[in-house]
Chain A
Amino acid sequence: MEIPYAVKPRPDTGLYNAKVGIWLFLASEVMLFGAFFSTYILLRVQAPHGFWPDVALGWPHGLLNIPIGTFNTAVLITSSVTVVMAWIALKQNQFARFRKFMAVTVLCALGFLAIKTFEYREKFGHYVIQLNDGSRITGHLNVNGSSPLLWTLKDVEAAKLEALKVEVDIPNKFRFPVGHPIPEDIHKAHQAGEHHREREIKVSDISSLKAFIPSTHPFFAIYFTMTFLHGLHVFGGAMVLFYFGFIGSGMWKTDPERFTNRIEVGGLFWHFVDLVWIFLFPVVYLL
């Protein structure tokens, strides 16, 4: 038994089955990411005025690395172009060229993920520290020359430290303190134009210490959730493209039309993944 229109398009719809399937699947993906974007909007709209960490649950601004994010955007867009080039190469019967473009596509995907991992790591080593006097600072820890990840106060106690060396962030120009949640001397340093300042903080002065992780603030919660799910899509898409283009490419010999369709469908998914990022990048990095 053979399923009709599995390869050849159906005359009245002009589509083969998998193409209908992928468009439907993408429609559901739009609803999925739509829900996450709606969540982002709602959380942000109801956040108190002023910027985190100056205001307890204000929305943070400028915490993500824009140049790196921009570079990553470029990487992903490049891969979207190369996947089309690969498909065109197939249509023109140039298998070797197809292979090259596929390789570039998959490498771009892996590069994107590597950079994203680096960004995550950077967040896991960045802390918000609440002091007993009510002031709040952010920065990186320096424990014997290294910068620990994902610590909490428990880890500090376990390391038997009396005082913590902290590379304190000087609030950047986007943030304007409301009241005085920032310690006085840091405020002064800020006005003097300094950018970083190492301070020793007595552990007994600290009331809480948290890395920039999802449970720390709704912004991180939604940032990590959305970028992680997007990352999963990138990973899944890259795996599928790798399978199509390399491991399963024997089909090019046995059933070239079906093979070309596969690449087209994979490419459609890949464009979608790219498109999600094109919305995600401005929303979480720039706005």
Chain B
Amino acid sequence: MQTATTHPGSGAAHADSHAHDHHEPSFLTKYIFSSDHKIIGIQYGLTSLLFLLLGFMLMLAMRQQLAYPNQPIPIVGGLLSKVLGNDMASQGVMQADLYNAFGAMHGTIMVFLAIVPLAFGAFGNYVTPLQIGAPDMAFPRLNMASYHFFFWGGVVMLASFFIPGGAAKSGWTSYSPLATVADLNNVINGQTLWLIGMVLLITSSLLGAVNFIATIIQLRAKGMTWMRLPFFVWAQFVTGFLLLLAFPPLEAAGLLQLSDNVLGTSFFLPTGLVYNGKQLDVSGGGSPLLWQHLFWFLAHPEVYVLILPAMGIVSEVIANNTRKPLWGYRSMVYAALAIGFLAFIVWAHHMYMTGMGTKIATFFQTTTMMISVPSVIILSALFISLWGGSIRFNTPMLFALSFLPMFGIGGLTGLPLGLNASDIYLHDSYYVIGHFHYVVAPGTIFGLFAGVYFWFPKITGRMMNEFWGKVHWFFSLIAMNLIFAPMFIQGIRGMSRRMYDGGATYFSVGVGADPGILWLNKFITHAAVLLAVAQIPFIINFVWSIWFGRKVDSDNPWQATTLDWQTPTPPPHGNFASTPVAHRGPYDYSVPGAKRDFTPQDQPN
């Protein structure tokens, strides 16, 4: 409905600035250097979806190598040899260095360039101001800067594939001293670019976080009290604080490691470090553990950055499609706040193997068990919300519903990793890979898919195709489980992560016979191919629907209550036709005595 001819975001009070606001912006200022939160949200969304695809393609190449070690990679093998050289892919066969580089970059790209920017940058930017009834973010130009830092961070990361020595190879965790010595032949190496890229990405996140929090505190519409905020906004609010406070220590750590790599300092290099049989010419006196502390101080809160926005999206979709208020909204809000607080005191559960004392291990086990409680509260509240609802099983809802058990599996399998005794056995095995992928892949990604299908009509004015959406959902759900469930078995039977031939050498010359898990490598890889195929309907549906999808028949096609749906479609610059006022809570569905089964937040009594 392109009926947005009213002056954006204004009451009569702004009529005088009318003429001033209406000069046509050029393409550059409208789409590239835009300071409108919706355009920035779309920029974030498209960029991060592309990175999501890239991260997945890297993994497909790696999975091929795991299933068929030392055989040429079909289709792209020759190209990889040509572009990256024979050191990396000799006659199309993935070498250990390339596996390591792809592995590190898969993790980095997925976390920092795909999921966070999609969940926080894209959905957060587009939806948050709409849901709180604001005309834009508090600092539109910082918002623009945030995207551009992100973009250049991504460019630096991509460029690192093509420099001599290739991209960073020391895992997404970049543990020192490995990260410093991995590529001593090249002064500017993949790790250096990784660190520069990270500093740019962190800067972007910090700008975003300041902006989001300030926006939510300051720009809530009249009547939009804290307890009337949609849960999505709360999730973004807590996410903002996690980014704001957890990222700076990693920025510090990144600068220190950069200094180790470029200036020859020894922040993370122990005394007497020997590499390749030679003592390194460094002062020593540093601490590898320090890197791990600084890294995990960010990276644990980061997992909540990955999951909270998805929980927010799922909550909106579930409330909307059960046609009933969320059960336990308040406890969900307090649970999210509790997560935000506890997330800062669990980090060392990633470091049980570093020989910490039992007292410290006990502390971190305790806090880790504590933080599972609020997650369980949120998940339970969402499950209970389904009870007695007249559920509409549309595509967003199917993804949202699948999120619940998938995140459940991811969360429950995390408990043995949080307990010192069992983690010592499971640490660094495929069990860990299975665990956190259940959280971030069928968990977060399904939440994000739900969001894409849900807000697509608001953003474009057109619906995505339901049939192909359901096909996408069905095969993705099957494939995800076929990929990640067998990893638990592999891990429990002793398969380590980060092995470039999937354990073939390890089990033949290392620890003896294959304990019956190597065939699963092939199985998983085939499932990953199925997952890839299942994304084709999504990609076509997405692109097609932008131009040819069915037009929405109203501004509020899902008949939702929150303010984001009470805007023209797509929302104009300034968002609302008239300044909105909130009169009620976010989920007034099926209010007894009301004419319709939903009562928008801005509807007066």
Contact = CB atoms under 8 A, between A and B. Distances in A.
Partners in one complex: yes
B248 A24 contact: no
B290 A5 contact: no
A215 interface: yes
A53 to B, nearest CB: 11
Interface stretch (B74-82, B160-168, B209-217): B209-217
A13 B217 contact: yes
B218 A1 contact: no
B209 A221 contact: no
Interface residue range, chain B: 35 or more
B282 interface: yes
Contacts of B265: 214-215, 218, 221, 225
A215 B210 contact: no
Interface stretch (A40-48, A109-117, A131-139, A269-277): A40-48
A28 B247 contact: yes
Contact of B283 (A17, A21, A217): A217
Given A214-B263, A218-B266, A35 B283 contact: no
Interface string B186-228: 0000000000000000000010011101100111000000000
A42 to B, nearest CB: 5
Given A3-B136, A222-B267, A225-B256, A21 B214 contact: yes
Interface string B231-260: 000000000000011111101110110010
Given A217-B283, A225-B259, A3 B140 contact: yes
A214 B256 CA distance: 11
Contacts of B293: 38
B285 A39 contact: no
B17 interface: yes
B139 A24 contact: no
Chain A's interface: helix, strand, loop or mixed, by majority?
A: helix
Interface residue range, chain A: 35 or more
A211 to B, nearest CB: 12
Interface in A166-197: none
Nearest to B260: A221
B267 A215 contact: no
Interface string A1-33: 111111000100101111011001101110110
Given A1-B573, A24-B209, A29-B248, A218 B267 contact: yes
B527 interface: no
B290 A42 contact: yes
B138 A3 contact: yes
A32 B264 CA distance: 22
A221 B134 CA distance: 47
B267 A221 contact: yes
Given A1-B136, A31-B245, A225-B259, A39 B283 contact: no
Residue from A5, A15, A17 having most chain B Cβ neighbours under 10 A = A17
A216 interface: yes
20 contacts: A1-B574, A2-B14, A3-B137, A4-B135, A4-B219, A20-B138, A27-B244, A27-B245, A28-B209, A31-B244, A31-B247, A31-B249, A32-B248, A35-B252, A36-B252, A38-B249, A39-B256, A57-B284, A57-B285, A214-B259
Interface of B: 8-10, 14, 17, 21, 134-140, 142, 206, 209-211, 213-214, 217-219, 244-249, 251-253, 255-256, 259, 263-267, 271, 282-287, 290, 293-294, 297, 573-574
